[in-house]
Amino acid sequence: MTRDPLRYIVPIGRVLFALVFLVAAPGHFTAGTIDQAAGHGVPLATVAVPLSGLMSALGGLGVALGYRARLGAWLLVVFLVPVTFMMHDFWAATDPAAAQIQRIMFMKNLSMLGGALLIAYHGAGPISLDARAGRDD
């Protein structure tokens, strides 16, 4: 029985998708990021921002490793929705250049939200810890 070499695309895609969350997560524990979020009106930023960093890290790890990938993807969805609308409110920017940057960031987050929803629905796919354990959750 020959295995399809294209099955390696799935774990590569999972890792590439998760990388942005894993790289960004440590920043959510810094005073600068917390202050920036507070400036955008994030309530309880000293709690919410580190919590969002934890969600980003755990969700990103789950997706990258394919371990409880659906749950990891849902963590990323819950992370992305408020972050997208609170931190990238391009419609409120008065400077055209700032508005354009925030619009790009908003659209990037919507794209990542779409990817997370696909993983939440389809699961980790082949070559994952979930597949090894016979799980489809």
Two tokens, residue 16: 């590439």
Q: How high does pLDDT run on average in the chain? A: 94
The reported pLDDT for the residue numbered 18 is 98
Task: Give the end-to-end CA distance of the chain in Å, rounded to a whole number.
Answer: 27
Assign 23 a pLDDT band (cuts: 50, 70, 90): very high
The reported pLDDT for the residue numbered 2 is 60
The reported pLDDT for the residue numbered 113 is 98
The reported pLDDT for the residue numbered 136 is 66
> What is the separation of C-alpha 52 from the centre of its chain, rounded to a whole number of angstroms?
10
71 or 3, which is more confident? Answer: 71
Q: For 74-133, how does the pLDDT look when each residue is reduced to its tens digit (9 = 90+)?
A: 999 999 999 999 999 999 999 999 999 999 999 999 999 999 999 999 999 989 999 888
In this prediction the pTM is: 0.91
